[in-house]
Amino acid sequence: MFEALLNFSEIIPLLTMIFGGLAGYRAGQLVRRRHQAALRRSVLTTLVLLVVATIGVLALPALSAPLVQFGWDFASNRFLVGLPPMAIAAVATWVLSVPRLARLRREAARDKTTALTAEQRYAAADPRLVVPVQLLGISGFLGVYVLMVYRPVTPYTIDIITVNGILLAVAALFWLRHTRRQRILGGEEPRRGPGFLLRVGRGLAGVAAVVLAVGAVIVAGQELSKLPPNYDMSMSHNMDWGGGPRSEQHEAMGMRMTGHHSGLSVSELNGGADTQGTPDKTFTLTAMKKTITVAGKQIEAWGYNGQIPGPEIRVNDGDLVQVTLINQIPDIGVTIHWHGLDVPNSQDGVPGVTQDAVRTGQQFVYRFRVHQTGTYWYHSHQSAFAQVDRGLFGPLVVLPKGAKSDPYDMTVTTHDWKLLKENELARDVSYMTFDQTDGVEKRAVPAGSPVRLRIVNSGTSAVNDEKSPTYVLTGTPFKVAATEGTEVDQPSEIKAGTGIVIGTGGRADLTFTMPNGPVRLTNIENPSTGLVLSPDGTADAPAPAFAADGPLFKRDDYGAPASTPFGLSSHFDRTFKLVLDDGPGFFNGKFDVMVKINGEVFPNTPMLMVRQGDLVKVTIVGRGHVNHPMHLHGHQALVLSHNGKPITGSPWWTDTLEVQKGDIYEIAFKANNPGIWMDHCHNLQHTEKGMVMHLGYEGVTTPYRAGTETGNLPEGQ
């Protein structure tokens, strides 16, 4: 219902554009009718057309009003920007044009022999009759542009001035033209119309002007959207200070975008004393080529230590962890980002922000102390879509301090292979693997054993952007013990077969006691793959039939509430709003359906600016047509509310939040980890199209540069 309203209210101005346009054309031609009956007929047609166009105008608020209950953010652009020009034109039409049209028809005779009288021609050419009808079509066009193409976000001031200004300017032009036309027709002014050749010439010039203008917009869009070959990610010309104090000095640096800045360098943000000493756990991860077979096709993949997924890293809370990354893949740079772990900024693995990409034959040592528990994962952040897609990822588990792993505490990393270029698989074809299996992976678990199944969705994007990745566990009731690395307090038991959404980059830990029969984990978009646990490890279990409207796990009210360091009623030092939407546009020289944050793609997306210690609230609105798993590096955000309802279950901390179309979330985090942090959609195909922004701490700058010239390509261009 919500979706239908959102979509119909978006396309309804088309009706006004088309029928208003036809009515306007008809109205302009009335004066040319050859006889009385033709005039009567034409007036009637015009009236019918403009009634349909008016239905479009009335339908816009009618369809948008119910959207308000889902959030004013879904309706505000419709009411404040789309509607006014259409309403103005419609009122003008009904007040000025319709009575004149009606009189024209009433006073016309029914015969086909009498030509129009001079009075009739004069009345038919009246600008008060013609212009409003023509404006109705123009206003529909503006509505289409605003709601379908441009899709503005608050504040709308400039948009409101622009659309109404355009309407008024067009009205003035039309008015002048028709006033003169009426005077000529009424014999008040001599007809000194241009000759045939001149008219053709004018027409051609008009077409050429339109073609040139469209061409100029395309070329400008391409050129202006190209990322510079060398840019500074700690700077932005669109810094958003969230209503808190601004730093003029930082802003002045931001306007320059590149160059040398004073300030705290990200490389100094290395954890200080906390990361000194002998590491408790050391690992070496070597990025190398690896040929694997998925769905019967050989893929040239890449893996850490030649494994896909990469080796599981299992550490304890409090451990000092050291990982040496070696790159043996020819011709590319790689990094490791510790997804969900709040490491010091210099260890975050973002090329061009926190380090240089590690070139072939080189190495880099990561060092951080872990202060969290739960299920995380790691992946390369260089050309993230291409490299994660190709296999540079692995699971990472943090057990509580001093805890030993239970025997059936296990991870399963599911991966949807998207980009298999050399293997001629279409980009939109999906092949999923559960760990290393592209079919059904089987594991033995003795009946009666406690099982903790840690699911990591390492996919780069959902099989279908409009549906969130959904997993189903069958064969046993279970509990959702943790989401995105955070333990749920007192999780209740859930029925077997309940769907669990795990967005790309997200995780969920399911716990249960192993029954005598098999237990199967299935991703419903890829039912032929999965994981089956059984006492002897050989049993199979059929994929469940999961209806699109099957039961779904809801995190909002799951588990027991507990106290949190801040909440909905806290005083926030900064508040930000992010409207996620889509629409045609350019990113880095390419025209595509863009996925946008506040109407922009990188580098024009807002950079959220904070000061250390700030309590920050972010409202995220999913206003577009697809879902976005939003991921903030280096911080844990507390979800405060979902679609206006406070979260009442166990405190919901997250690093990756699946924002579905129609969702409004309020989240909050403490700015307690200074640095320059990526904040992006973890549908990495969206990341690659510029759905990226940064969280910046005032005064923090980076010595690293991104862009083709630097070899650092965090966004994957």
Residues that bind ligand C2O (CB under 6 A): 337, 339, 379, 381, 505, 631, 633, 678, 680, 682
Three-state secondary structure string covering 78-89: HHHHHHHHHHHH
93 to 122, contacts with Cu ion by CB under 5 A? none
Q: Given the complex with ligand C2O, which of 33 and 680 has the nearer CB atom? A: 680
CA distance to 107, 490, 514, 645, 651, per residue, from 559 (Å): 75, 5, 22, 16, 8
Could you give the CA distance from residue 305 to residue 292 in angstroms, rounded to a whole number?
Answer: 14
Least Å from the CB of residue 460 to ligand C2O: 10
The number of CA neighbours under 13 Å toward the Cβ of 13 is 27
Shortest distance in whole angstroms from residue 706 CB to ligand C2O: 13
Minimum separation from the CB atom of position 229 to ligand C2O (A):
22
CA angle, 400 then 401 then 407, to 5°: 55
Nearer to ligand C2O, 475 or 690 (CB): 690
* Cα 653 from Cα 395, distance rounded (Å): 19
Residue 631 touches which member of ligand C2O, Cu ion, none, C-beta under 5-8 Å by kind? ligand C2O
Category of 595 on φ-ψ map: left (φ > 0), alpha (ψ -120 to 50) or beta: beta
One-letter amino acid identity for 42?
A: S
Burial class (CB in 10 A: 0-12, 13-18, 19+), 297: middle
- Shortest Å, Cβ 628 to Cu ion: 3
Min CB(634)–ligand C2O separation in Å: 10
Residue 686 touches which of Cu ion, ligand C2O, none (CB < 5 to 8 A by kind)? Cu ion
Residue 420 touches which of Cu ion, ligand C2O, none (Cβ within 5-8 Å per kind):
none
- In angstroms, what is the minimal distance from the CB of 708 to ligand C2O? 20
Residue 244 CB, shortest distance to ligand C2O, in Å, is 25
Which is it for strands 607-610 and 692-697: parallel, antiparallel or unpaired?
Answer: parallel
> Which three-class secondary structure state does DSSP give residue 408?
coil
178/633 with CB nearer Cu ion: 633
Spatial distance between the Cα atoms of 716 and 332, rounded to a whole number of angstroms: 12
- The minimum distance between CB 583 and ligand C2O, in angstroms, equals 24
Nearer to Cu ion, 121 or 686 (CB): 686
Question: Is the CB of 23 or the CB of 618 nearer to Cu ion?
Answer: 618
Report the chain's terminal Cα–Cα distance, integer Å.
Answer: 38
- Min dist CB 657 to ligand C2O, Å, is 13
Cα–Cα dist 207/380, whole Å: 50
Nearer to ligand C2O, 24 or 503 (CB): 503
Tokens of 195: 């000759």
Tell the smallest beta-carbon distance from residue 682 to ligand C2O (Å): 6
Residue 339, binding choice from Cu ion, ligand C2O, none, Cβ under 5 to 8 Å by partner class? ligand C2O
Residue 250 vs 379, nearer CB to ligand C2O? 379
- Residues 644-703 interacting with Cu ion (rule: CB under 5 A): 681, 683, 686
Tokens of 542: 């059929």
Six-digit token pair at 358? 């590690």
Residue 683 contact among Cu ion, ligand C2O, none, beta carbon within 5 to 8 Å by kind: Cu ion
Record the tokens describing residue 419, joined without a space.
Answer: 């980009």
Residue 380 has which token pair?
Answer: 């390369």
State which residue, 367 or 631, has the beta carbon closest to Cu ion: 631
Nearer to ligand C2O among residue 574 and residue 682 (C-beta):
682
> Which of Cu ion, ligand C2O, none does 661 bind, CB closer than 5 to 8 A by kind?
none
Contact 410, 443 (CB under 8 A): yes
Q: Which does 505 bind (CB under 5 to 8 A by kind): Cu ion, ligand C2O, none?
A: ligand C2O
596 touches, from Cu ion, ligand C2O, none (C-beta below 5 to 8 Å by class) = none
If contact means CB under 5 to 8 A according to the sort of partner, which of ligand C2O, Cu ion, none does residue 633 touch? Answer: ligand C2O
Report strand pairing: 519-523 vs 530-534. Answer: antiparallel
Residue whose CB is less far from ligand C2O, 40 or 415? 415
Q: Which does 682 bind (CB under 5 to 8 A by kind): Cu ion, ligand C2O, none?
A: ligand C2O
Rounded to whole angstroms, how far apart are CA atoms 284 and 145? 53
Tell me if 628 contacts Cu ion by CB under 5 A: yes
Rank residues 26 and 337 by Cβ distance to ligand C2O and give the closer one. Answer: 337
CB 337, min distance to ligand C2O, A: 5
Question: Among candidates 485, 473, 555, 544, which has minimal Cα distance to 514?
Answer: 473
Q: Which is nearer to ligand C2O, 240 or 348 (CB)?
A: 348
Question: What residue number has its CB nearest to ligand C2O?
Answer: 339
Q: Report the residue number, 505 or 675, with the smaller CB distance to ligand C2O.
A: 505
For Cu ion, the closer CB: 642 or 686: 686
Least distance CB 593 / Cu ion (angstroms): 12
Burial of 59: CB neighbours in 10 Å, binned 0-12, 13-18, 19+: middle
With beta carbons less than 8 A apart as the criterion, state whether 419 and 406 touch.
no
**Residue at 295: amino acid letter:** A
DSSP-derived pairing of the beta strands 393-399 and 409-417: unpaired
Q: Taking CB within 5 to 8 Å according to partner kind, which of ligand C2O, Cu ion, none is near residue 678? A: ligand C2O
CB of 349 to ligand C2O, least distance (A): 9
User: At its nearest, how many Å lie between ligand C2O and the CB of residue 655?
Assistant: 8
Residue 659 φ/ψ, nearest 5 degrees: -95, 105
* Among candidate residues 604, 608, 611, 607, the one with its CA nearest the CA of residue 699: 611
Instruction: Compute the distance between CA of residue 97 and CA of residue 353 in angstroms, rounded to an integer.
Output: 61
- The secondary structure of 522-550, three-state, reads EECCCCCCEEEEECCCCCCCCCCCCCCCC
**Cβ proximity of 602 and 237 under 8 Å:** no
- Between 628 and 635, whose beta carbon lies closer to Cu ion? 628
Q: How many residues bind Cu ion (CB under 5 A)?
A: 4
Could you give the C-alpha distances from 4 to 63, 408, 625, 668, in angstroms and in order?
A: 9, 45, 11, 31
Residue 650 binding partner per list ligand C2O, Cu ion, none, with a CB distance cut-off of 5 to 8 Å that depends on partner kind:
none
Question: Quick one: the chain helix, strand, coil %, rounded to 5?
Answer: 30, 30, 40
Given the structure tokens 């025209």, which residue do they identify?
591
- Contact between 75 and 61 under an 8 Å Cβ cutoff? The reply is no
Residue placing its CB nearer to Cu ion in the complex, 470 or 522: 470
Bridging pattern class, strands 507-513 and 450-457: antiparallel
CB of 458 to ligand C2O, least distance (A): 9
Q: Which of ligand C2O, Cu ion, none binds 479 (CB below 5-8 Å, type-dependent)?
A: none
Name the one residue in this structure whose structure tokens are 């953010």: 73
The item of Cu ion, ligand C2O, none sharing an interface with residue 39, based on CB under 5 to 8 Å by kind, is: none
Q: What's the min distance (Å) between Cβ of 681 and ligand C2O?
A: 9
Q: What mask of x and - would describe binding to Cu ion in positions 234 to 263, judged by CB under 5 A?
A: ------------------------------
When CB distances are held under 5 to 8 angstroms depending on the partner's kind, the choice from Cu ion, ligand C2O, none that residue 520 binds is none
**From the list ligand C2O, Cu ion, none, which binds 628 (C-beta under 5 to 8 Å, kind-based)?**
Cu ion
Residues forming the site for Cu ion (CB under 5 A): 628, 681, 683, 686
